Amino acid sequence: MIRYKLICKKCDNSFDSWFFSSDEYEKLKKKNFLTCYNCNSLKVEKTLMSPSIITSKNNIETKNYEYKKIKKKIRDHQKFIKKNFDYVGDKFTYEARSLHYKNKKNSRGIYGTASKDELNELKEEGIEIETIPWINDNIN
Ligand SMILES: [Zn+2]
């Protein structure tokens, strides 16, 4: 994608517009598809400036980078939880209740799996739970 700054010779309005390529700009210009959104004039020219270019490749790499950063955060979070909490698997709802109602002091937190309905029930009972994104270690 290329961004051009366009200027209307009639009303002096300038605006940015995106094109797939410089060829596209020329084509649209020839077909009189380029108009000023302010006064509808066809006297729209691109101003002389270096265009900003985003290739789709760059775009994908940026996204991957962001994804990796997020993934690392989740993994760090997971590491912390695995170290400080006890894994109870699908007994999470049961264990969460017993922890809550027995009011065990100084007991470690727990983590495990529960369905959305189960989590809602726990919340209604006033049990503090937090859901976090989880990455399975065997999936990359
Ligand atoms: Zn204009």
In this structure, the answer to whether residues 9 and 46 fall within a common structural domain is yes
- Enter the pTM of the model: 0.48
User: Are residues 61 and 29 part of one domain?
Assistant: no
Q: Which residues place a Cβ less than 5 A from the ion ligand 1?
A: 8, 10-11, 13, 36, 38-39, 41
Domain that holds residue 29: 2-53
In a domain, 136, yes or no: no
Same domain, 74 and 41: no
Identify whether 138 is part of a domain: no
Q: Which of 110, 129, 108 is nearest to 120 (CA)?
A: 129
**45 shares its domain with 61:** no
CATH of the domain at 41: 2.20.28
Domains contained in the chain, number: 2
**Same domain, residue pair 46 and 99:** no
Is residue 86 a contact partner of residue 107, using CB atoms and an 8 Å limit? Answer: no
* 83 and 108 part of one domain: yes
Distance 100 CA to ligand 1 centre (A): 68
Whether residue 135 lies inside any domain: the answer is: no
Burial class of residue 45 in the structure, from the number of CB atoms within 10 Å of its CB (0-12 exposed, 13-18 middle, 19+ buried)? middle
- One digit per residue, the tens of pLDDT, for the chain of length 140 reads 788 889 999 999 988 888 888 888 899 999 998 999 899 999 998 886 555 555 566 566 677 777 788 888 888 888 888 898 888 888 988 988 888 888 666 677 888 888 889 889 988 998 888 887 777 765 44
Q: What is the pLDDT of residue 140?
A: 46
Range 68-102 burial, b when 16+ CB lie within 10 A, else e:
eeeeeeeeeebeebeeeeeebeeebbebbeebeee
Does 137 reside within a domain?
no
Q: What is the pLDDT of residue 50?
A: 53
Assigned domain for 88 exists: yes
